[in-house]
Structure 1
Amino acid sequence: MDVHPLPPLLHNQPQLIADEVRRLVAELGGREPAYDKIAIGYADCGTYGALDAVCAELGLERLPGLHCYDVFAGPDRLARFFEDQPGTYVFTDFLVRSFHRTVVRELGLDRWPELREDYFKSYTRVVWLAQEPDDELHALAERAAEILGLPLTVVDTGHAGLERALADLVS
């Protein structure tokens, strides 16, 4: 199995994901030896069905769910988080590690910290779906939640949901 990642910052512009997937699949389709199967390791990720349209057009499957949070926590569990507190902001280990680059810098909070209130005033908490929690990640998650001015809830998810979804996808 080969993994061909797309830039993670596409999640900040999900309207670009479907076209980037189409471009990468076209590139991979021209390789020799040809792949027996190509699967998309994205959930919908904010494409509002555009990724599903590309998958249907190309005869491909993708990870289930609206976003990776569904894959890690399970859609029912995640729905409960939002039902309990609609203002829930969600972290994964990746977002914890890359928070300064993907949130602070990309949203301009490093240059205009006063924008934090505009961006995050409707949020009430952060839920970190911790795949591989350790002391360093925990400290980074606490710091990121502090920057947002929100309390942090840690939910240990591990990789089981992702492992099941990937196994289903490639089988």
Structure 2
Amino acid sequence: MTTDATLTTEGVAPKGEGRVLLIACGALAREILAIKTANTLDHLDLQCLPAILHNHPERIVPAVRDAVAKHRDAYDQLFVVYADCGTGGQLQAACADMGIQMVAGPHCYSFFEGNDIFAAHDEITAFYLTDFLVRQFDAFVWEPLGLGRHPDLRDMYFGSYEKLVYQAQTDDPDLTEKAQDCAARLGLAFERRFTGYGDLKKALTTIT
């Protein structure tokens, strides 16, 4: 499990030649590297913060500020690969204060599907998983909520949900099967949507 991995890509240009650092959620590392490789985005470097911050949004803004302070002098541009992610607008305000751009949207579920498409769904009874969260379901959902020790808590946490929506970034039958199992464990109907990388790809491929 790579919840605390810090990843840095190689082969970027030196400062002064368009070098850009992506300060990103570790839950997006695989997807960012895939987009980078597929689109030959050699000017982008990647620094991932611990993915477990997904469960602690109050820690995201301080972590991003620390990363900016640490790396700013070494890069021509920094770009934050988080959406609001539960910070209540604080991350957007911090990025504006630091003069740094970030991915638009309330959270990764939205920008993976496309912010406009996601907003149009207006699904208040859907629980979402991405490729990363399917892989890390036990570490990021099941165990933190105590469902392994206290399965009776399921109704308290998920009683108002009707379905689990698996937003698939890749066509992986094994992940689909695992996502179906996650839905069954939560007692929810299952729906799979192939989103690809959505607005994340658009955001990264327009960084110059």
Q: What TM-score, normalized to structure 1?
A: 0.91
The one-letter code of the counterpart of 2:52 is L
**From 82, 85, 92, the counterpart of 1:42:** 82
Q: Which residue in the other structure is 2:50 paired with?
A: 7
How many pairs align? 165
Query: In the alignment, is residue 139 of structure 1 matched against residue 182 of structure 2?
Result: no
In 2: Cα distance, 1:122 partner to 1:105 partner: 20
Asked if 1 retains the 8 angstrom alpha-carbon contact of 2:154 and 2:186, the reply is yes
Query: In the alignment, is residue 25 of structure 1 matched against residue 63 of structure 2?
Result: no
The one-letter code of the counterpart of 1:25 is V
Structure 2: gaps (5+ residues):
1-43
Runs of 4+ in 1 over 6 A off after TM superposition: none
- The structure in which a higher percent of residues are strand is 2
Query: In the alignment, is residue 116 of structure 1 matched against residue 163 of structure 2?
Result: no
The one-letter code of the counterpart of 1:97 is R
The two structures, once aligned, show a CA RMSD in angstroms of: 1.3
Alignment of 1:43-62 (within 5 A): 43-62=83-102
Asked if 2 retains the 8 angstrom alpha-carbon contact of 1:71 and 1:165, the reply is no
The one-letter code of the counterpart of 1:136 is D
Query: In the alignment, is residue 167 of structure 1 matched against residue 205 of structure 2?
Result: yes
Shift in Å, 1:15: 1.4
Query: In the alignment, is residue 103 of structure 1 matched against residue 141 of structure 2?
Result: yes
In 1: Cα distance, 2:195 partner to 2:176 partner: 14
- The structure in which a higher percent of residues are helix is 1
Q: What TM-score, normalized to structure 2?
A: 0.76
Q: Which residue in the other structure is 2:16 paired with?
A: none
Asked if 1 retains the 8 angstrom alpha-carbon contact of 2:113 and 2:198, the reply is no
Structure 1: gaps (5+ residues):
none
